[in-house]
Structure 1
Amino acid sequence: MTWSPIEGGVSRLGSLGVAGQELAGSGRTVEGLISTHLAAARAAVRAVDDSIAGAGAAYQAALDAAVALDAWDADRRVDIALEALGAVTDRERPLETMSVGQRYRVRLACLLGANDDFLLLDEPTNHLDQQGLEFLTARLRAWPGGIVLVSHDRDLLSEVATSVLDLDPSRDGRPVSYGDGYAGYVRGRHAYLQSWTDDYAAHQATQARLAGDLAAAQARLSTGWRPDKGTGKHQRATRAPALVRSVHRRASDLAAHEVPMPSPPARFVMPALTAPAGVILVEATGVRVHGRLETPVDLALSAGSRLVVTGPNGAGKSTLLAVLAGLLPPSEGSVRCHPAARIALLAQESPRDDRLSTGQKRRLDLAAVLAGQPHVLLLDEPTNHLSTALVGELTEALATTGAAVVLATHDRWLRRETADWPQLLLQVGDDKTRGRGRHAGE
């Protein structure tokens, strides 16, 4: 979908690479997507090949264009990025057979290989594991062109951003730009809100004083108050009305410099979740799913249990959560659930609804999961598509809830915040030693 501004205009110079949060299959293959993004580079190589070496200005222009794009190396750059991001490398694979995250990683690899002059990236770290995060961060730090990021990832913003444009409400209704990277934004935003709050309080106090002055002046006028004897006759006759006019002028001046009330930030309120005490709510024994979860997993969850599931893409984190939720049967092992246990899963993906943005859908999914008052809360990459403020508030709430909580996440900030939780590391392939242990029930 293409949007046009209702005011103003947009102009650009050079090539532009765009990665939205989602990418539809659209009947294409991996190679088809690569061809789209490398069209300019491949065309530049063909132009050089079709020219006659040394044939004057035409050949030189074609050669200059190909060199500027580093066109001969474009496919190799894409292959390197596909591998580093954990993306599908089979170029004949149809996109519609892939998950949202798999498609996103392929497109991100294409953008990193195309060497566009300018990148627009919407939540680029949402579907990356630790290796992919490190690769992307390094590439963006070294990117010679311009980059605009929309991201909740504090680590990425701290490493890459040189300035932050804040779209939250401001006193004049315009976006506020902060320099000195993400740290400068945090400091600047705090100072800005404090100044706005102080100015609003001062404005309200002045308004209250003027209201008092006006009431007093009008009372004097209505009661026929006059200054003390000895005051000039003209002054005695006009003093009270003059006071009223003066207060009105001051009130008018104050209204012309109105300070809007700072918008209180919407805060996340976690419902009180409880779970039956003294019982095992969910227990997995030797659970595997062929081709998807090769590490056998043993775990037990009771009220207040905490568990962070980590591992590279493809290790089976989402699969494990689906098994625990009862949505997918294990190929080996067993899962036992307490008959009274309410288990809820916040999955990475939900059915498309073009009436809502990706972030709106994510918040709605989270609200629906919590509204069910689950005893066991299974969260698959819960920070995806959420704001930094909401992520922080959700993390605080999860630390104190009475429900059992299982997180599958690559988010570096969230992993640091939950470093004291029991950890379960899953591995790709047949390393069957990492998922054993009663990680969450003890």
Structure 2
Amino acid sequence: MLQVKDIEVRAGARLLLSPVSFQVIPGDRIGLVGRNGAGKTTLTRILSGESQPAAGTVNRTGQLGYLPQDPRSGDPEQIARDRILGARGLDQAIRRMRRTEETMASADGAERDEAMSAYTRAEAAFLAAGGYAAESEAARIASNLGLPDRVLGQPLKTLSGGQRRRIELARILFSDADTLLLDEPTNHLDADSIVWLRSYLQGFAGGLIIISHDTALLEAVVNKVFHLDANRSEMDVYSMDWKRYLLQRETDEKRRKRELVNAERKAAQLMAQADKMRAKATKAVAAQNMAKRAERLLAGVEGERAVDQVAKIRFPDPAPSGKTPVRGFELSKSYGSLEVFTAVDLAVDRGSKVVILGLNGAGKTTMLRVLYGIEEPTAGRVELGHGARVGYYAQEHETLDVDRSVLANMVSASPNLNDTDVRKVLGSFLFTGDDVDKPARVLSGGEKTRLSLAMLVVSAANVLLLDEPTNNLDPASRAEVLSALRTYAGAVVLVTHDPGAVEALHPDRVLVLPDGVEDLWSEDYADLIDLA
């Protein structure tokens, strides 16, 4: 359970959330919503204990499971299955059992007897932690999240960002936590896994706070809504499900508008009467009192609330290039004995639109990293054509220098722009005032997305490599990104789970991994998007 008392949330000097108190008890399934930058991620970090509030206290009882937007936990050398089982300590017990089994197989006499005793102790610890039933439960959760046995047997360092995130989600769901804090849990999940997750969370008996732009998930799961209003720095609490919340917000806005109109009409009448009375000296005091009544009447109504700002995302005309700015020849990539893709040929022509599809772990992100030059292919080569200027949007925001400020990251993307022009572009992406001086590491996932896209805008790239560019975006910002994709005149290579992003791109061709099949785009491939 979480008991929150008078916490204040700030990002540097900027107030995100005025002091607020609430609790999360078993059975609460809370949707935490608000536009990007409102403070949702910052609040969940505070609730999890990763950050501290500017004021107030958070009391945690029971076990808490927290899924951040960009989980980096775990030893890179650790086997994925052990990472999940470690949530209940099963991994250590299993390792001790395996070691003693090996010793028993090769030892004799007293050494063998000691190994048998050690095995008995290890097995007792294993059974106390849930034993084979718990191990089977972990495998079932992993399978439902699209993690097959071959992935579970790999070291974490060999997995894609999406696979790592699903490993962390499986670990948290397996942990038996009393309270779950889930920040965009459906990122990188295919359609079947999202359906399973909805069902799982519907039946979760503990407390839950979930941040998600997946309205179908919110509609299916939440029974309370906490809305962070960035314009007022306040949190509105609605003890109702998602559909009723949407209706209530609309009703409240109409009521506020009606109350303001009525108050303004009555205040105008009072002021007109006061103006008439001021003409007579004997009624000057009464006129002053009447004017004060009009002021109090207007002060007592809230009126219409400010509409959330939306980033204005527009990609400029690209720099001129040759006919084929990027070409890959016989590209192969392996990590040790793990073969990701083999002998893939790809030509990205000027202005062409290519979507890369394939199951999770098929090498989509790796292909973009190879094309950009972040990773070297195991075999084959990448050639850049005349005038090629390549921009890369990384789903895990690896292209950001998290130790540098928002402004410094932008300057590094376009050293030819002056400070005024850089700040102007940042302003169109909703980074204003002191926001530009914040280090990139404190930004939410949505803010990192906006900064990464702003850096692409000033880069004058004529080839964009985009890896899940709509993740972590609120609906309005997502619409802006899709609109920018529709009108961009340069070449695009896109990896996405978002059917709307593919529709906006209107691709010419498709590359299916790991087989490397390149084909003209047709709607027959659309069914693969949700599975990607």
Same fold (TM over 0.5): yes
1:387 maps to 474
Greater Rg, structure 1 or structure 2?
A: 1
Answer yes or no: is 1:74 the counterpart of 2:134: yes
Say which of 331, 346, 350 aligns to 1:288: 331
Checking the alignment, whether the CA contact within 8 Å between 1:307 and 1:423 is kept in structure 2 is: yes
Identity %: 29
- Structure 1 distance, partners of 2:325, 2:380, is 14
Matching residue's letter, 1:243? A
CA 1:437–1:261 in 2, change beyond 3 Å: closer, same or farther?
closer
Which 10-residue stretch deviates more, 318-327 or 104-113? Answer: 318-327
1:52 maps to none
Describe the superposition over 1:381-420 as per-residue Cα deviations: whole angstroms up to 9, x where unpaired.
11223223322222223222333333211135545x5485
CA 1:133–1:172 in 2, change beyond 3 Å: closer, same or farther?
closer
- Structure 1 distance, partners of 2:225, 2:345, is 42
Give the match's secondary structure for 2:392: strand
Describe the superposition over 1:196-217 as per-residue Cα deviations: whole angstroms up to 9, x where unpaired.
4454455556556655554554
1:57 maps to none
- Structure 1 distance, partners of 2:234, 2:172, is 34
Give the match's secondary structure for 1:302: coil
- Structure 1 distance, partners of 2:70, 2:170, is 15
1:29-48 alignment, distance < 5 Å: 29-30=78-79, 33-39=83-89
Describe the superposition over 1:34-92 as per-residue Cα deviations: whole angstroms up to 9, x where unpaired.
3441249999xxxxxxxxxxxxxxxxxxxxxx99x976521112123334434485778
- Structure 1 distance, partners of 2:74, 2:233, is 42
2:350 maps to 302
Checking the alignment, whether the CA contact within 8 Å between 1:293 and 1:319 is kept in structure 2 is: no
- Structure 2 distance, partners of 1:127, 1:282, is 29
Describe the superposition over 1:133-177 as per-residue Cα deviations: whole angstroms up to 9, x where unpaired.
344344334445443211123343344334432212487933242
Checking the alignment, whether the CA contact within 8 Å between 1:214 and 1:248 is kept in structure 2 is: no
2:305 maps to 262
Checking the alignment, whether the CA contact within 8 Å between 1:287 and 1:330 is kept in structure 2 is: no
Matching residue's letter, 1:342? R
- Structure 1 distance, partners of 2:269, 2:341, is 70
Shift of residue 355, structure 1, vs aligned partner: 3.7
Answer yes or no: is 1:102 the counterpart of 2:150: no
- Structure 1 distance, partners of 2:75, 2:370, is 30
Give the match's secondary structure for 1:384: coil
CA 1:435–1:8 in 2, change beyond 3 Å: closer, same or farther?
same
Specify every segment of 5 or more residues in structure 1 that has no aligned partner in the other structure, as ranges: 44-65, 225-237
Describe the superposition over 1:366-394 as per-residue Cα deviations: whole angstroms up to 9, x where unpaired.
22122223222221111223223322222
1:435 maps to 518
1:53 maps to none
- Structure 2 distance, partners of 1:171, 1:260, is 13
2:288 maps to 244
How many residues align? The count is 392
Specify every segment of 5 or more residues in structure 2 that has no aligned partner in the other structure, as ranges: 1-48, 94-126, 335-339, 404-440, 523-532
Matching residue's letter, 2:145? L
CA 1:73–1:253 in 2, change beyond 3 Å: closer, same or farther?
same
Answer yes or no: is 1:375 the counterpart of 2:462: yes
- Structure 2 distance, partners of 1:42, 1:336, is 47
Checking the alignment, whether the CA contact within 8 Å between 1:282 and 1:335 is kept in structure 2 is: no
Matching residue's letter, 1:37? A
CA 1:241–1:91 in 2, change beyond 3 Å: closer, same or farther?
closer
- Structure 2 distance, partners of 1:194, 1:340, is 55
Matching residue's letter, 2:288? V
Which 10-residue stretch deviates more, 314-323 or 334-343? Answer: 334-343
Shift of residue 95, structure 1, vs aligned partner: 4.4
Answer yes or no: is 1:343 the counterpart of 2:390: yes
Give the match's secondary structure for 2:235: coil
Checking the alignment, whether the CA contact within 8 Å between 2:483 and 2:504 is kept in structure 1 is: no
Say which of 256, 261, 271 aligns to 2:314: 271
Give the match's secondary structure for 2:229: coil
Structure richer in strand, relative to its length = 2
1:166 maps to 227
Shift of residue 423, structure 1, vs aligned partner: 5.8
1:426 maps to 512
Give the match's secondary structure for 2:213: coil
- Structure 2 distance, partners of 1:355, 1:122, is 15
- Structure 1 distance, partners of 2:212, 2:491, is 29
Answer yes or no: is 1:7 the counterpart of 2:56: yes
Say which of 398, 402, 411 aligns to 2:498: 411
Shift of residue 346, structure 1, vs aligned partner: 0.6
Normalising by the residue count of structure 1, what TM-score does the alignment of the two structures yield?
0.72
Checking the alignment, whether the CA contact within 8 Å between 1:25 and 1:94 is kept in structure 2 is: no
CA 1:124–1:344 in 2, change beyond 3 Å: closer, same or farther?
same
Give the match's secondary structure for 1:435: strand
Describe the superposition over 1:257-293 as per-residue Cα deviations: whole angstroms up to 9, x where unpaired.
1426622311111235213689635353555323333
Answer yes or no: is 1:400 the counterpart of 2:487: yes
Shift of residue 327, structure 1, vs aligned partner: 4.2
Checking the alignment, whether the CA contact within 8 Å between 2:370 and 2:377 is kept in structure 1 is: yes
Give the match's secondary structure for 2:489: coil
Give the match's secondary structure for 1:127: coil
Checking the alignment, whether the CA contact within 8 Å between 1:154 and 1:413 is kept in structure 2 is: no
Give the match's secondary structure for 1:167: strand
- Structure 2 distance, partners of 1:217, 1:338, is 82
Describe the superposition over 1:222-262 as per-residue Cα deviations: whole angstroms up to 9, x where unpaired.
xx6xxxxxxxxxxxxx345433332323323432x142662
- Structure 1 distance, partners of 2:521, 2:373, is 19
Checking the alignment, whether the CA contact within 8 Å between 2:391 and 2:463 is kept in structure 1 is: yes
Shift of residue 194, structure 1, vs aligned partner: 4.3
Shift of residue 300, structure 1, vs aligned partner: 3.2
Matching residue's letter, 2:331? R
CA 1:75–1:275 in 2, change beyond 3 Å: closer, same or farther?
same
Matching residue's letter, 1:318? T
Checking the alignment, whether the CA contact within 8 Å between 1:345 and 1:377 is kept in structure 2 is: yes
Matching residue's letter, 1:321? L
